[in-house]
Amino acid sequence: MCGIVGYIGDKNCVPILIEGLKRLEYRGYDSAGLGLLYNGNASAIKSKGKVSLLEDKIEGLNIKSSLGIGHTRWATHGEPSEINAHPHGNDSGSMFIIHNGIIENYAVIKKRLQKLGYVFKSDTDSEVLVHLIDDFHKKGNSLFHSTRLALSQVDGTYGIAVISKTEPDKIIVAKNGSPLVIGIGDDENFIASDVNALIAHTSKIVYLEDGEIAEVYKDSFMAKTITDEDILKEIVQVEMDLDEISKSGYQHFMIKEIMEQTESVTNSMRGRLLVEEGLAKLGGLKGFEDQIAKSNRIIIVACGTSWHAGLVAEYMFEQFAEIPVEVEYASEFRYRNPVILPNDTMIFISQSGETADTLAALKEAKRRGALCLGVCNAVGSSIARESHTGVYIHAGPEIGVASTKAFTSQLVVLALITMLIARKRHMSLADGKSIISEMATLPAKIERILKLNDHIEKIAEDFVNAKNFLYLGRGYNFPVALEGALKLKEISYIHAEGYPAAEMKHGPIALIDENMPAVFISPKDSVYEKVISNIEEVKARKGRIIAVASENDDKIDSLVDYTIKIPDTIRMLMPILTVIPLQLLAYHIAVKKGLNVDQPRNLAKSVTVE
C-alpha cells in the first residue's frame, strides 16, 4: 500500500522524488520521507502527514543529492508518526531502507538483533530489515548480498529499496508480493512501486518478479534471484500519457475519473465489438476461448468494488452463458479449502492487479490446477502477469481511492466475456447482434447521465448531515446497491448498507424512519413493479427516498422525494448506467462535507498487504 520511488543519476533527485511521491500519494498518505546520499553522507528527512509537509520541511534544508529514495506510508505496524515513517536507518546512520509490505516474522528477528545490541527506534516491522542487512554488511558482505541474505531470512511481503554511503553508486531493490519496477533513463535510472511515479521521466520499465533482487546503477542494472541465480530481465516499453495521471483542471481525481467514463467505456470496447457476427473479440483470451466456453463452473474472486463487478457478472454468466457461477471474496477464498473441479474456470478481477488477497488466491488456484483468467486495469501488474490468460479493461490509470471508472469498464469486459462464451454455447446470432449493438450505445447514454451532475449535486446538499443510508436494488441492480453504499461510506464516512430490495422486510425495514434516507435503483425492468412495492413500504414509514429511475417513468415521481432519471438499456448492461448517479451522489456529499475524497482516511488505493 505504501509508495516507493528512487533516483540515481546526475540530477538533483530531491524534486524528482517529491514529485514521484506526490504521484504515489494515493497508495498511502500518513507520513512520508526521503533517504539521501550527499557529500559523502547519508541522511533521512521524514514528516508525519502528507507529502506537501515533507516538501516544506526539505525546502528549508537546501539539500542537493544525486541518489535518493522516497516513501509514502500506509501504516500497518506502528501508528502514523515521524519515528515510524520510512526510511529507517541502521545504528550508525550510514544505511537506509524503505519498505512496502509486511514482515511476518519480524518479532523473532527483532529479538535476535536486540540481543546482538541493535537498537530499534520505531514500532515498525520494517526496521528489522535495515538492522539485518547491516548485520550481514558488517560481516564483509556487499550491500547487494547483505540485502539478499537478509531477505532470505524473512517471511512476508516486501518491495524494498536500500542505499548506503559505503556503496554510494547504487540502489538495491527487491520484490516479494509487493510491486517494484525499475525505470531506465539515459545515464539515470529510477525505481518505484508503481509506473505512475516514473512516467514523467521514462517509459522503459523493468518489472521485478517475486523473489528477485536488483542492483541499480546510474547507467546499468543487474538482477538475480534471492537464491543467487543470474537472471536476464526484459525492458518493456509502457504506453501511458502524463495527462492520464494528472487532474486536468478537475478539483479531484475522483470527479475527473467519473466524468471520463464515456471515454473509458469506449476504450474498454474499442475493437472488441463484432456487431455483424454478434460476437466479442478478446485477443487476450486467444487459444483459451473453447476451454472457457466448456467450463462446468466459473468462480470469480476479487475484493471491494471489483467483487461487486463479479456479482454483476454472476447474473450475466448465468443468464446468457448458462454456467453456474460462484463469487468469492479473495480473502476468504485463500484461507478456505476451496474445491476446484476439472473444467472450472476462475476469473480474478482487480483494478490495480496488485491486491494482495486476490494475488494470493490466484496463486493458490493455479497450484490447484484451475484455469485462471485475469481482468485487470493496470497493464503489467502482478495479477495480469500471473494469470494464464486475461483481458485488460483499458480504463486508463485510476488514481482516486474510490474506484469509479474501473468498475464500469470491468462490467463492460465481463459482458464481453459473457458474450464470447454465450455465443459458443446457446446464444443465437440474432440475440448476439442485439446485445452487441446495445453495447455500442452505452457511451452516448453515459454522456447523458453525466449531464445530470448539477442535478445530483443539488440533491446531495440535502443529505450532508445524514448519518445512515440504505441502498436498495434487485437482480442486476443489487450489486449496484452494494457499490453505491461502498462509495458513500468510503469517502463521506456516512454509514451505508446495500441490500436486495426485497430483503428489506426481513430486518432493515426496522431502521426506516424520517432520518433514514433510502436510495432505490429502480429502472423499468422486469422487477420494476416489485421494487415499487418496496418503495411504498419505505414511504409508508416516512423514509426519504432517492430513486434512480428510467427516463420514461412518470409514475415514480409521485412516490419518491428525489428522482434521477437515466436512459434505459437491456438489464444486463443496466448496472453500467445505474452506478454512475451513485458515484456522483457519494462524491458531492463528501465534497460538501469538506472531506478529501481522493485520499479518504485509513484507505489506500492498492491494498498490497493482507
484 touches ligand M6R (CB under 6 A): no
The burial of 227, by beta-carbon neighbours within 10 Å (0-12 exposed, 13-18 middle, 19 or more buried), is given as exposed
Listed ranges 231-239, 385-393, 412-420, 600-608: which one lies at the site for ligand M6R (CB under 6 A): 600-608
Instruction: Tell me which long-range contacts 38-42 makes (C-beta under 8 A, separation of at least 24).
Output: 38/63, 38/64, 38/65, 38/66, 40/165, 40/168, 41/165, 42/89, 42/93, 42/94, 42/95, 42/96, 42/163, 42/164, 42/165
Tell me: does residue 586 bind ligand M6R (CB under 6 A): no
Candidates 137-145, 398-406, 420-428, 573-581: pick the segment binding ligand M6R (CB under 6 A).
398-406
Of 58 and 362, nearer to ligand M6R (C-beta) is 362
Q: How many CA atoms lie within 13 A of 563 on its CB side?
A: 18
Q: How far apart are CA 335 and CA 342, in angstroms?
A: 21
Does residue 433 have an active-site annotation? no
In terms of phi and psi (left: phi > 0; alpha: psi -120 to 50; beta: otherwise), the region of 74 is beta
Q: Which is nearer to ligand M6R, 143 or 414 (CB)?
A: 414
Q: Which of 66, 126, 176, 350 binds ligand M6R (CB under 6 A)?
A: 350
Cα 303 off chain centre by: 9
Q: Which of 126, 267, 305, 345 binds ligand M6R (CB under 6 A)?
A: 305
Taking phi first (over 0 means left), then psi (-120 to 50 degrees means alpha), and beta for anything else, what does residue 542 get?
A: left
Residues 48-87 that bind ligand M6R (CB under 6 A): none
Is 132 or 181 the residue whose CB approaches ligand M6R more closely? 181
Among 351, 522, 578, 599, which residue interacts with ligand M6R (rule: CB under 6 A)?
351
Report if residue 306 touches ligand M6R, rule: CB under 6 A.
Answer: yes
Dist. CA 236–CA 384, nearest whole Å:
15
CA distance 133 to 349: 37
What is the number of the residue whose Cβ is closest to ligand M6R? 304
Catalytic residue among 2, 13, 303, 376: 2
- What's CA 597's distance to the chain center, in Å? 15
Find the binder of ligand M6R among 14, 24, 401, 482 (CB under 6 A). 401
For the chain, report the end-to-end CA distance as a whole number of angstroms: 10
| Choices 194-202, 231-239, 350-358, 515-523 (CB under 6 A): range interacting with ligand M6R | 350-358
Region binding ligand M6R by CB under 6 A among candidate stretches 29-37, 143-151, 194-202, 349-357: 349-357
247 is catalytic: no
262 part of the interface to ligand M6R, by CB under 6 A: no
Q: Does 397 bind ligand M6R (CB under 6 A)?
A: no
State phi, psi for 480 to the nearest 5 degrees: -65, -35
Q: Is 352 in the site for ligand M6R (CB under 6 A)?
A: yes
Return the residue of 87, 304, 310, 475 that touches ligand M6R, per CB under 6 A: 304
Please tell me which residue in 175, 256, 445, 605 is annotated as part of the active site. Answer: 605
Q: Give the residue with the Cβ less far from ligand M6R, 25 or 135.
A: 25
Is residue 403 within the footprint of ligand M6R (CB under 6 A)?
Answer: yes
Strand 371-376 with 273-274, pairing: unpaired
From the list 139-147, 199-207, 298-306, 315-323, the region that binds ligand M6R by CB under 6 A is 298-306
Phi and psi, residue 590, nearest 5°: -65, -40
Q: Determine, following the binding rule CB under 6 A, whether residue 358 of this chain makes contact with ligand M6R.
A: yes
Quote the distance between the C-alpha of residue 318 and its chain's center. 27
Please count the other Cβ atoms lying within 10 Å of the Cβ belonging to residue 507. 9
Sheet-wide strand order for 88-89: 88-89, 95-100, 158-164, 171-176, 212-216, 221-225, 230-231
User: Would you name the residues annotated as active-site residues?
Assistant: 2, 605
> Which positions lie near ligand M6R, rule CB under 6 A?
303-306, 350-352, 355, 358, 401-403, 486, 490, 603, 606-607
